[in-house]
């Protein structure tokens, strides 16, 4: 049943970084904007995230005296992309406008960013890379008073504490700091980013409607003129005079779409439930082109097999694979990769096909195998050193017993561990180059085999499944540099925009530095908002008052 009709200049679908930035930019020139958010809470994956965007040429980098140039950024990106980007226009638009977009957000909201003192690009030894400055993060700030009743409507991350990345390496008592900040309503990371954007849009009169899911787009001829949303079981028609901005995230929460596009059968989403490809489907129905469909920002993770949130498994992030006394083995008990590579690259490794055996040996039953020294040093998800071994970690007194317990060939696993121990002794991993990949020494100024490898020899020994986790898929509707959705032959679908993870990611399959998802998402949210604003300011254009009922 259709409950009511209404009209605004712009209707935005989704309240993550991309959607809120688009809303902020459009509302800043006085356009009437409605944001519809399917969930009861605001912020999507962004609110759960580290809140760190990768923004080449940003002003904070300059303030720190770090030189950078467009030529270096392009040299770095081109070396990684190898021409596989979904569209050159998107790469150019990102590089040319990322800093401007961040400036805009900081000047229109309470958000203040700072650079991390030692957070290099992820391939810091590549030409054009920078050792600091392109990744920035929100400064902590009190939002409870500022947002009033809206404060509690921003998602709280179960995965991230109320601290900054910078503080994570400072030696501070993070548990206590996080507790104090939580009490005071101080937010950091993605919570700070969303809270600041929300403050900015509310100040500009944007109507933010939670528990309101976009279901289908409305068209007149070939033009998108609004959408039908559902709230409390009733349909609501919303007309958008200038355009609809799809910003409703990726499809990592839909196992069928993940299987179809990524070719992964047992992935776990690390984002909140709800990013199930609604925007992708709405665009496909109208004949949109797509790009980058097999890409996702991956984050290998662990799961205890029981924890669920909103009907979805709740995995844990873990850096244990970087511990020098940890190896990763595939279903045959064999190492197959340098364990310390970036999370994005590990996702690619877990999908590899072996053409000789015609199988995917590194998918499914992949295990981290480690010893007591690693357990004593490194936390594993929420399992702290010294805590009793839980049911989801297998423990044994010998490597052979461990292999039997996890169903691996004993002789193979024992020989892999012995071989790795030999590499640790000699300081050279001739199989996978442990200790030679830049990411392994990200916060230590570069990798060294001595720091990155040690013998796996102290009983008891442990194993736990390493799973293919997804922060967010980054394949979707193909757009131009203004976020306008394209048809396969390149014409526009008038009135339809797609920004953030619902769109084809500008950076293709690469993840050049911390924040390579939020950087483009903020940038294209801004560029879409700008295009809508310039359409509205064109001679003869008339603004619509919001007439969408509460
Ligand atoms: C733990 C974690 C840490 C991360 N850290 C970082 C980081 O530091 N830097 C970085 O760059 N990336 C990071 N990422 C990835 C990044 O957070 C996401 O890729 C990004 O936030 C996606 O932004 P978005 O605006 O496209 O979508 P989202 O933030 O996911 O927002 C989409 C919103 O759309 C809503 N929605 C879906 N369907 C509908 C519908 N039909 N109608 C209405 N609303 C709908 C969803 O409920 C959601 O609220 C991290 C991810 C995780 C999980």
Sign of CA dihedral 182, 188, 189, 192: positive
pLDDT of residue 542: 60
Q: Please check whether residue 289 is in contact with residue 492, taking contact to mean a CB–CB distance below 8 angstroms.
A: no
Q: Is 22 in the pocket of ligand 1 (CB under 6 A)?
A: no
Pick from 240, 517, 525, 526 the residue to mutate for probing ligand 1's pocket: most ligand atoms within 8 Å of its CB: 517
In ligand 1, which atom is closest to the CA atom of 499?
A: 26
CATH 3.90.700.10 domain locations along the chain: 316-466
Q: Where in the chain is the domain with CATH 3.50.50.60?
A: 2-250+471-536
Sign of CA dihedral 234, 237, 238, 244: positive
* CB distance 208 to ligand 1 below 6 Å: no
Cα 361 to middle of ligand 1, angstroms: 31
Q: Whose CA is nearest to atom 37 of ligand 1?
A: 248
Residue located nearest, by CA, to atom 29 of ligand 1: 16
Both structure tokens of 118: 């030692």
Q: Percentage of residues in the chain with pLDDT exceeding 70? A: 97
Q: What is the DSSP-derived secondary structure letter of residue 511?
A: -
Judge whether 11 and 242 are in contact, CB under 8 Å: no
Distance CA 266, CA 425 (A): 36
| pLDDT tens across the length of the chain (550 residues) | 455 678 999 999 999 999 999 999 999 999 999 999 999 999 999 999 999 999 999 999 999 899 999 999 999 999 999 999 999 999 999 999 999 999 999 999 999 999 987 899 999 999 999 999 999 999 999 999 999 999 999 999 887 788 998 888 777 788 889 899 999 999 999 999 999 999 999 999 999 999 999 999 999 999 999 999 999 999 999 999 999 999 999 999 999 999 999 999 999 999 999 999 999 999 999 999 999 999 999 999 999 999 999 999 999 999 999 999 999 999 999 999 999 999 999 999 999 999 999 999 888 899 999 999 999 999 999 999 999 999 999 999 999 999 999 999 999 999 999 999 999 999 999 999 999 999 999 878 788 999 999 999 999 999 999 999 999 999 999 999 999 999 999 999 999 999 999 999 999 999 999 999 999 999 999 999 999 999 888 776 665 665 554 4
Nearest CA to ligand 1 atom 1: 49
Beta strands in 14-135, from DSSP E residues, in sequence order = 33-36, 113-115
- ipTM over 0.95? The verdict is yes
Ligand 1 binding pocket includes 432 (Cβ within 6 Å): no
Task: Please give the pLDDT value at position 118.
Answer: 81
- Answer yes or no: is the C-beta of 44 below 6 A from any ligand 1 atom: yes
Mutation test of ligand 1: which of 24, 46, 138 has the most ligand atoms closer than 8 Å to its C-beta? 46
Which atom belonging to ligand 1 lies closest to the Cα atom of 502?
26
Give pLDDT, residue 550: 43
Give me the pLDDT at residue 549, please. 46
**472 within ligand 1 shell (Cβ under 6 A):** yes
Distance 46 CA to ligand 1 centre (A): 4
CB atoms within 10 A of CB 229: 23
Ligand 1 pocket test, pick from 250, 276, 472, 475 with the greatest ligand atom count within 8 Å of Cβ, gives 472
Return the residue whose CA atom lies nearest to atom 50 of ligand 1: 49
Closest CA to 264 of 290, 293, 289, 303: 293
CATH class of the domain at 316-466? alpha beta
Q: How far is the CA of 465 from the centre of ligand 1 (A)?
A: 26
Q: How far is the CA of 476 from the centre of ligand 1 (A)?
A: 14
Can you identify the CATH homologous superfamily of domain 2-250+471-536?
FAD/NAD(P)-binding domain (3.50.50.60)
- Nearest to 47, CA basis, from 193, 165, 159, 185: 193
What's the 474 CA to ligand 1 centre distance in angstroms?
A: 11
User: What is the residue-wise DSSP string for 128-188?
Assistant: T--SSSSBEEEPPEE-HHHHGGGGGGBPPPSS--SS-HHHHTTT--HHHHHHHHHHHTEE-
Which token pair is 209?
């409607």
Instruction: Give me the pLDDT at residue 537, please.
Output: 81
The Å distance, Cα 521 to ligand 1 centre, comes to 9
Residue 541 confidence (pLDDT): 67
Rg (CA), the chain: 24
What pairing do the DSSP bridges indicate for beta strands 492-498 and 234-246?
Answer: parallel
499 Cβ inside 6 Å of ligand 1: no
């Amino acid at each position: 049943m259709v409950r009511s009709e209404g009209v605004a200049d712009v209707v935005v679908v989704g309240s993550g970084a991309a959607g809120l930035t688009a809303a902020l930019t459009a509302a800043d020139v006085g356009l009437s904007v409605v944001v519809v958010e399917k969930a009861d809470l605001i912020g999507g994956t962004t609110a759960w995230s580290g809140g760190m965007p990768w923004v080449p040429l940003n002003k904070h980098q300059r303030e720190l005296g770090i030189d950078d140039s467009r030529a270096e950024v392009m040299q770095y990106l081109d070396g990684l992309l190898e021409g596989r980007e979904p569209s050159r226009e998107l790469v150019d638009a990102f590089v040319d406008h990322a800093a401007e977009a961040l400036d805009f957000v900081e000047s229109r909201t309470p958000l203040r960013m700072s650079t991390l003192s030692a957070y290099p690009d992820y391939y810091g030894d590549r030409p054009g890379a920078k050792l600091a400055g392109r990744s920035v993060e929100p400064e902590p700030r009190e939002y409870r008073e500022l947002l009033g009743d809206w404060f509690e409507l921003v998602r709280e991350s179960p995965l991230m504490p109320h601290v900054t990345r910078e503080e994570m390496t400072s030696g501070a008592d993070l548990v206590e700091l996080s507790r104090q900040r939580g009490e005071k309503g101080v937010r950091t990371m993605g919570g700070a980013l969303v809270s600041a954007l929300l403050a900015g849009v509310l100040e500009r009169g944007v109507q933010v409607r939670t528990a309101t899911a976009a279901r289908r787009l409305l068209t007149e001829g070939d033009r998108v003129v609004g959408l039908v949303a559902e709230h409390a079981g009733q349909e609501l028609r919303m007309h958008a005079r200038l355009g609809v901005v799809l910003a409703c995230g990726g499809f990592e929460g839909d196992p069928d779409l993940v299987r179809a596009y990524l070719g992964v059968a047992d992935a776990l989403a690390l984002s909140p439930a709800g990013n199930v490809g609604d925007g992708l489907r709405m665009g496909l129905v109208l004949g949109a082109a797509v790009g980058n469909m097999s890409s996702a920002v991956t984050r290998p993770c662990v799961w205890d097999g029981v924890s669920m949130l909103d009907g979805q498994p709740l995995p844990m992030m873990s850096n244990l694979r970087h511990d020098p006394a940890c190896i990763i083995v595939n279903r045959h008990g064999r190492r197959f990769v340098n364990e310390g590579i970036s999370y994005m690259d590990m996702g690619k490794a877990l999908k590899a096909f072996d053409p000789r055996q015609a199988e995917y040996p590194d998918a499914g039953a992949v295990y981290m195998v480690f010893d007591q020294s690693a357990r004593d040093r490194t936390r594993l998800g929420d399992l702290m050193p010294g805590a009793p071994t839980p049911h989801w970690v297998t423990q044994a007194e010998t490597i052979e017993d461990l292999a039997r317990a996890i169903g691996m060939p004993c002789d193979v696993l024992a020989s892999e561990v012995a071989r790795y121990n030999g590499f640790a002794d000699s300081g050279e991993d001739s199989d996978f180059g442990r200790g030679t990949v830049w990411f392994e020494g990200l916060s230590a100024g570069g990798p060294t085999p001595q720091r990155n490898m040690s013998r796996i020899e102290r009983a008891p020994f442990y194993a736990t499944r390493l799973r293919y986790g997804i922060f967010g898929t980054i394949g979707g509707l193909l757009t131009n540099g203004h976020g306008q959705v394209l048809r396969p032959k390149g014409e526009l679908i008038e009135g339809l925009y797609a920004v953030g993870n619902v769109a084809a990611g500008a950076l293709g399959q690469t993840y050049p530095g911390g924040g390579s998802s939020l950087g483009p998402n903020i940038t294209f949210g801004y560029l879409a908002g700008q295009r809508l604003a310039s359409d509205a300011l064109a001679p003869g254009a008339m603004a619509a008052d919001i007439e969408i009922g509460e």
